[in-house]
Structure formats: structure tokens, C-alpha cells
Amino acid sequence: MDELRARLRWLMAFRVAIVTVMLGLSLVFQATKGEQVDTYYALIILTYAVTIPSALVLPSLTAPASLTVFFWAQVGIDFLLETVLVVRTGGVDSPFAVLYVMTVTVASLVPRKRVGLFAACGCIILFGAVTNVQLYGLADGWDWGSKSQLTAPETFQTFGAYALALLVVGLLSGTLADQLQQADRSLREKEQGLTRLQAFHENIVQSISSGVFTADGSGAITSFNPAAQEATGYTLSQVLRCQWREVFNWHPAQPLHDGAGMAAVSRFEVECKRADGNRLVLGMTVSPLHEQGQQEGLVGVFKDLTQIRDLEEEMRRKEWLANLGEMSAGMAHEIRNPLGALAGAMQMLRKEAAADDTDRRLMDIAIREATRLDSIITEFLQYARPPALNLAESDINKVLAETLDLVQHEARTRSNITIVTTLASGSLIAQIDQNQMRQVFWNLATNAFEAMPDGGQLTIATGCRQIDAGGRKGEVIEISFQDQGQGIPKANLDKIFLPFFTTKKAGSGLGLAAVHRIVDLHGGWIKVESERQQGTRFVVCMPRSGDDGVRLWHEGRTPWKRS
């Protein structure tokens, strides 16, 4: 219907254009010769008087039947105007008889169903009636504009030529219209099929759970599907036209392509950073992107392997700790009992009067080292077999404030150490064991002091933020300890929570391991951010009271995150 309405508008516009041009030129030509031009004036006025209301009525017609009737009315108006013009300009001799042919041609292109033939028959009947009336003098009193100079045979010949021309034009126009309709229908079907296929492919790319991106021949990203945006944290606008190697931090020693072009398929694993700075491990497959047999770029498909790699690391660590725990009980009996006997014997020998000062000094060293070794074993056993937690709802700010009294006292015993605290307003309630959490805070603070042997500032802050915990929002309490030390080398970030790993001369390597174990038992995790010469920031993340979903979400995940 919309197409038919548009073609009707075009038909009326064509009528106005023809009348304006042809009759206008004829009017000017006849006026210069001093002849009567009333007919031209009347036809031009009548054409506009009929066309303007028709154009105003057309938008209100919605039914197909009404549009069909309207179309035939417009064709009939054209035929009547042309007949009047032919009669007033010489009848069968009129130069405007050719307008019948033009009207038939235009009319056949509107509904596109044999209209051309029907219109041609109507024109032949009207033109034949005019010819017969003029030929047999049935209206000798009419003003024909000029009398025909043709004989009867010439009149019939002229009429026959026009009739044949109208029939041929009607048939050819109708045939052409039908072919155009079929071609248009076929084109529309193919276009719709192509559109559906394109939409289907786009829906696949948009719905697939793997990240997908494409890049042009220069390596600039041209598309980035929602899964890729979710995995990396970058939006399409942030990565569009950026080099994909820079976005994914992939700089291999061997390039993907040589002079002959890119390899068929390249699979690799890359470690980069999300938009928020967190570690991201991706398993990626990159393939050449061809268009019409020519390589135009590449397409990459990747999957987030961060959680899998973290779980693998955690499983290896827990397996190692489980074996270590089995050894701890035997070590306690095999070492502590002889060590206690040795320390007791040294104390008895020291009391002997025969021992001189040198002997006593050596015995003091032996007793002190035995005591130190006993404390290390005790600390290790506490780590390997932690006591059951006495959980209760407590205010993190209050527990931290109580620990800060001891931390401030320890800071005064060291040189050039200052402590700045920024505690969140309001209560931060969580299910914790207060004694165990005080040990966490104390160990992190003293660890920061030891990282700043020449002094510096320790900033302790608390806060609360929301995270997406397994599809729903949850609140997490964060307690951060940020020092101004030398930072942790990147190679050591994966080891700092392992028992007995330490870079300090007098350290046991159990302080951070104990912190990790306690936080893990509370269902929390630790984030570590460190830059060489810029300090280190430890962030303890604890589920807020009532957000059990956060705790369950992090079960099976690595309980500490490296940035």
C-alpha cells in the first residue's frame, strides 16, 4: 500500500509537470502568434484544481480498495483532460494525441497488473470516438481549433497508427511492469534473507560466551563483542581503532605472520590486565579474516582463564600445605621433645659453679636459640593447625582501633615511622574472630614497618564497596595497609604467602602465611598491589555481615588477588 501510494503521488506530479511544461510552452507560442489561448488557460487551471485536492485526499486513504478506485479516477481524469485538449487542438490531427501514449506508459507502472493494456483500450475508445465524430461531421458546430485536412483513408490510417501504438505500448508496459514486479519481489526476498542471515550472525557473535574481536590489516580493533567487554572491562569505544596487541599486552618474539601472510591459526595464552588493573589470563585463538579470497585482517576468540589458573595455583598450594601439615605433627614430637631436653640440660650446666664466663655465654646463646627454635615450631604448628574460629558479629573499625594502640606503640620504637588512619564512618559489621583479626592487623602493620627501614608513612584505611557476587550485588569490607617501602619484586608476588618464604634476614616467613590462612578461614581474600620504589598495598576483603552470598561466591576461588 505504501508503494502504491508513493506511485500515485508520482503519477500526479508527472501530470502537473507535463501540463505545466507542454501547455505552458504552447500557450506562449500561440500567444505570440495572436491566436486564442483560452483552452490552455482552462486546462492548466483545471489540472491544478483537480490535482491539489487529490494530493490532499491521498494520505487519508488506507484501504486497498479505496486506493485502487482512487488510481482509476486519476487515470480517467488524465484521459478526459487529454481528450478535451485533443478535441480543442484539431482532433485526429492534434499534436497532443501523443499524450495518450505517455499516460498509458505511466499508468501501467502503478498497480503493475495488465493496467497498461486496459488503459490502452480506454484510450483507443476515446480517441476513436473523437475521430468518428470529427470524420462524419456529427459535431460540425464544435470548435475543433482547426479543421482536419485529412481524407477518410488518411484519417483511418492515422487512427490505426495511434491505436496500434497504444496497444503495443500497453502490452510492452504491462509486460515490463510484471517483470519489474517479479524482479523487485525476488530482490526483496533476497534482501530480507540477507538481512536475516546478517542479523543471525550478529546475534551469534553478540550472544556467544567467548570474547570475540576483529582487527583490520594494520591490527586496529574493529569490533568487540559483549563477552569480550565483560571479560576485559573495556567498552567498545575504549578499544575501537586501538592495536589489539597493546590491549591484550601480547608481544611475542615471533610475529604471527611473515611475508606470505598470517598463519592459518595461532593459539596461545596471554596474561594482561583488566580495565580496573586486575590480573587477567586469557586463552586466545587468532585466525586470518578473509573477504572475497583476500586477507583483510584477523579475528580473535578468547576465554577468561584467570579463575582456572588461580584455582590451579591454589590447589597446588593447598596440596603442598596438606603434605606439610602431615609432617608438622611428626616434627613437633621429633624436634620439640629433644629440644626441650637440650634446653633444660643447658640450664642445669649453666648453674654449675665450675662453668666460667665464656661457658655461660655460650650456654646462654644455646638456650636463646633453642627458645627461638621452639617459638618458630610453635608458630608453624599454629599455622598448619589453626584453632577453631570463635566467630561473632563485630565492628571492624572497633577491632582495628584497639589494635592501633599497640601498632602506635610499636611505631614509636622505630625511627621516622608515622601512621595515618582513615576509618569509614559508621559501623562495619562482619562475622569475625576478634583475636585472630587482631593478629592479622598486627602482622600487616609490623610487616609494613619492616619494609620501611629508613622510615616512612603507613596509611591504614577502611571502607565498604559493592561487588557482583554470582549475579547479585553484595557488600565487602576492605581494610588496607599501604606503606612507602621498596615494594615487592614481581617474581616474589606469587610466593609471599607461602610458609617460610622470606627476604628478611631474621624473618621466619610465617607472618604473611598466617595472615593468609586467617583471612581464608573467614571467607575473605587479600589483594596485593606493589610497585618497585613506590611501596606496597595489602587490602583485606571481608564479606559484610548478612552477605553470605559473597562468602559462598568466593569458595573455590583463590583467596588472594594479585594486581
Q: What is the pLDDT of residues 147-177, one digit of tens each?
A: 556 677 777 777 788 788 877 877 777 777 7
Cα four-point dihedral sign 173, 177, 178, 182: positive
Assign 416 a pLDDT band (cuts: 50, 70, 90). Answer: confident
User: Can you read off the three cell numbers belonging to residue 535?
Assistant: 611501596
Question: Residue 302 has what pLDDT?
Answer: 93
Higher pLDDT, residue 468 or 530: 530
In single-letter form, the type of residue at position 187 comes to L
- Judged by DSSP in three states, 225 sits in coil
DSSP state of 211: E
**Which of 59-63, 435-439, 452-456 shows the lowest mean pLDDT across its residues?**
59-63
Q: Are 494 and 512 in contact (CB under 8 A)?
A: no
Q: Per residue in 105-131, pLDDT tens?
A: 777 766 555 677 777 888 888 777 877
Please count the CA atoms within 13 angstroms of the CA of 321 that sit on its side-chain side. Answer: 22
Over pLDDT 90: what percentage of the chain?
11
Residue 145 predicted with pLDDT over 90: no
Higher pLDDT, 145 or 544: 544
220 secondary structure, DSSP code:
B
* pLDDT the model gives residue 142: 57
| Strands 429-432 vs 261-262: parallel, antiparallel or unpaired | unpaired
Question: Which of the four pLDDT bands, split at 50, 70 and 90, describes residue 138?
Answer: low
Find all residues with CB under 8 Å of 18, minimum gap 6, and list them.
99, 102
- Helical pair 152-207 and 115-135, crossing angle rounded to 10 deg: 160
Assess whether pLDDT exceeds 90 at residue 5: no
Q: How is domain 392-562 classified at the CATH fold level?
A: Heat Shock Protein 90 (3.30.565)
Residues 6+ apart with CB under 8 A from 464: 424, 428, 475, 476, 477, 478, 544
Reference 278, options 340, 317, 231; nearest CA is: 231
Residue 255 has pLDDT above 50, yes or no: yes
* Statement: residue 99 has pLDDT above 70: yes
**Contacts of residue 543, Cβ cutoff 8 Å, sequence gap at least 6:** 430, 431, 474, 475, 476, 477, 523, 524, 550, 551, 554
Longest Cα–Cα distance in the chain: 168
Mean pLDDT of the chain, nearest integer:
78
Residue 259 has pLDDT above 50, yes or no: no
Q: Higher model confidence: residue 80 or residue 528?
A: 528
Select the CATH number that applies to the domain covering 211-304 from these four: 3.30.470.20, 1.10.150.530, 3.30.450.20, 3.30.420.240. Answer: 3.30.450.20
CA distance 474 to 477: 10
**pLDDT mean over 186-194:** 84
At 260, the pLDDT band (50, 70, 90 cuts) reads very low
Q: What is the pLDDT of residue 462?
A: 92
The reply to whether domains 211-304 and 392-562 share a CATH topology is: no
The pTM for the full model equals: 0.45
At residue 364, the pLDDT reads 80
- Most confident range (mean pLDDT) of 67-76, 470-479, 526-535 is 526-535
Instruction: Copy the grid coordinates of residue 518.
Output: 586467617
Residue 460 has pLDDT above 90, yes or no: yes
What residue spans define the domains of the chain?
2-189, 211-304, 309-384, 392-562
Q: DSSP string covering 265-316, please?
A: -EEEEEEEE-TTS-EEEEEEEEEEEEETTEEEEEEEEEEE-HHHHHHHHHHH
Q: Give CA–CA dist 61/32, Å, rounded.
A: 44
User: Residue 296, by phi and psi: left (phi above 0), alpha (psi -120 to 50) or beta?
Assistant: alpha
Higher per-residue confidence, 282 vs 193: 282
What average pLDDT score do residues 385-405 get? Answer: 84
